[in-house]
């Protein structure tokens, strides 16, 4: 498939995630939209790694150029898993304090 189609798909998914973060007030749904944006970026990165590999394959048949990007995507997933565990703990703590997961309650942090 042409690379443009992957770019369009990733941009559409990322924009849906941005729209969700801007319009929803449930903190858990906002967090899920952030995960959606992370996945859109991962998809685009894998597509570009395949493209980079195909370019390098012309001159060298045994090259592994492009595997760095896939390792990088793997580390993005690792960091996302750690981030989710801490973020959900924060949401649970917020629910214990205010009995709600509305992000507008978080503006009490400033006092």
Structural tokens at position 90: 């924060």
* Contact flag: residue 34 with another protein (CB under 8 A): no
Instruction: Please classify residue 10 by burial: count the beta carbons closer than 10 Å to its beta carbon, then call 0-12 exposed, 13-18 middle and 19+ buried.
Output: buried
Size of the residue set binding another protein (CB under 8 A) = 74
**Interaction between residue 106 and another protein (CB under 8 A):** no
Under the binding rule (CB under 8 A), the answer on residue 98 touching another protein is: no
Does 89 bind another protein (CB under 8 A)? Our answer is: yes
- Specify the residue for token string 């580390």: 75
Restricting to residues 5-24, which ones interact with another protein according to CB under 8 A? 5-9, 11-20, 22-24
């Amino acid at each position: 498939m042409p690379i443009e189609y992957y770019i369009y798909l990733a941009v559409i998914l990322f924009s849906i995630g941005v729209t969700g973060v801007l319009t929803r007030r449930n903190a858990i749904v906002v967090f899920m939209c952030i995960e959606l944006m992370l996945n859109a970026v991962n998809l685009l990165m894998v597509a570009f790694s395949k493209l980079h590999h195909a370019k390098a394959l012309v001159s060298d048949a045994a090259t592994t150029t492009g595997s760095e990007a896939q390792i990088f995507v793997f580390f993005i997933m690792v960091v996302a898993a750690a981030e989710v565990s801490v973020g959900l703990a924060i949401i649970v703590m917020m629910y214990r304090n205010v009995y709600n997961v509305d992000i507008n309650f978080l503006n009490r942090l400033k006092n």
